[in-house]
A and B are shown apart, each in its own frame.
Chain A
């Protein structure tokens, strides 16, 4: 199977500049075009293990990231995102090209992939069962997810949980884990062997860096997992790691709020959430120390076995 690393730098750049790189991430193929050399570099670093499809194969999404024209190039260069000729977002400063690529990739899925219930949540797996971590930005979801996947859990996604509508299993969509502000330094210390992008300051989300998904999680992207827990995480300075049970009805409402297409799916969305809540244990989770948090997840796994 051809991968981004297997293409080599020169061919990668040529495809990005020319017909497009057909990049497989989980169940999706995205055709990416971009003349931006720094973006090619980030893609080579963050997506080395991902499958590449040949030109002429079907892509679900066609995206292009380009630089500014004319005077803009010299003064305050920007990166523009195009979705097959349309421009759904405002341009960003050029040094935010890779974060913009990641956000755009999320948007492609969350705005269209209606054969899943798409939840704004991290999801990780161990022993065939998955924990879903839905949470608003700033709750420490990505940090917790990054810590867990560096301590033996498999990354399914740090941002988009894809719940199948037919059997309720979760399809993996492993991609780089997005870290913000203080989390970046914490995670570098916590996972010194992991690969990170250079932090980009002053984005709408503050300073942002991405951590590469492990080769194993990418290689197993076709292995779905059965959800076992939904854990709503909340980082709180000094808090001991503690789970509190959440009643089913409330968990349903909170999942619905965190799903991109709950209302759009109508009855199917309701049933998907109801089945999910029925199949799992649901908790609120406060933590401050990552090792303590991981111990709690290991305990959940033990209790289940």
Chain B
């Protein structure tokens, strides 16, 4: 671990500090930001903090390039959501958007500057078949056709194999739960759906309730195997917590809801690393209540060593000698959490030796 925190973490905590940076700082900051996929976000943060116009012209230009990409992305997402709404209207299924798609559709601060590749939907498990066939009728095709992958998704995972539109190449992930069927924790999707909120003016789309959005983001980040977007996802949590923290009752409900959904551990990690790395203002009582989700001290020391590395900007200037090892360990852990050990070893063997090589390993 380098001693001074990376510049990017510093300005994510305190965007107004961007006004004080010199050209040398900016050269490094922009590199860390681009590697973290946060360039459009940084520009929007500078604007929010009222310092964008005071930044060096070449910095503004660079941030502007990323902003153009994000604005186009939003436009494409908006179009795509309308197509999905049309395709699935007949099913009558309430369409709950997850993660990036939800932040964008609901105009949440967590969506500002954020790019994502797939639209994630949560629907009741018993309606999966209807949703899948209507999407097929409207031009989305299934991927992962090999029999093993089909079984992997349909029996073990919490989603259909990703569906890709044949002409626009956009991808939808249709989920029926937020964790795999084979994982140890199984947050009840019915509870999540029951608490979902319609997006005002949102074409019949819903988001999860504020607490659930935070918990889903947390469980996703902290059971992930691949941390290339770790910092960006942690910043999602930071923005969600800051935004919802102003809603009455949010903080009081969060730890209880986490226990109810068997997600006390990911909430503990989320609050720990948000406060440590991004200075997220979390009430002391909530931190205390979330401590119930903490692992034992030895495991916590290990997880600190891993997460405090993997959640740094994925840029050479932020990596120490153990960075690669930490990311590799988390990759193994991500798969470990997905399924029981025996099943995992069978899965990895199959992917290594039996799956057709053209299909990227999942």
Contact = CB atoms under 8 A, between A and B. Distances in A.
Interface of A: 29, 31, 56-60, 62, 84-86, 112-115, 261, 263-266, 268
Interface majority SS (helix, strand, loop, mixed), chain A:
loop
A261 B64 CA distance: 14
A268 B68 CA distance: 10
Interface stretch (B69-77, B121-129, B211-219): B69-77
Given A85-B35, A85-B315, A113-B65, A59 B27 contact: yes
A62 B72 CA distance: 25
B145 interface: no
Given A84-B315, A266-B72, A60 B58 contact: yes
Interface string B54-66: 0010110110110
Contacts of B61: 115
Given A57-B27, A58-B59, 11 more contacts: A56-B23, A58-B23, A58-B27, A84-B315, A85-B35, A85-B314, A114-B64, A115-B64, A115-B68, A264-B69, A265-B68
Nearest to A265: B68
Contacts of A112: 65
A261 B71 CA distance: 13
A266 B27 CA distance: 29
Closest 4 A/B residue pairs (Cβ): A114-B68, A56-B24, A114-B65, A58-B23
Q: Which of B30, B68, B316 has the most CB of A within 10 A?
A: B68
B3 to A, nearest CB: 21
Contact of A84 (B24, B31, B69, B71): B31
Interface residues of B, number: 23
B139 to A, nearest CB: 20
A266 B73 CA distance: 10
A185 B65 CA distance: 40
Contact of B68 (A60, A86, A264): A264
Contacts of A58: 23, 26-27, 30, 56, 58-59
Contacts of A115: 61, 64-65, 68
B68 A62 contact: no
B339 interface: no
B34 interface: yes
B62 A264 contact: no
Q: Which of B59, B72, B314, B316 has the most CB of A within 10 A?
A: B72
A84 B71 CA distance: 24
A292 B68 CA distance: 43
Nearest to B30: A58
Contacts of B72: 263-266
B315 to A, nearest CB: 6
B32 to A, nearest CB: 10
B31 A62 contact: yes
A164 to B, nearest CB: 12
Given A58-B56, A58-B59, A266 B75 contact: yes
B35 A84 contact: yes
Contacts of A31: 27
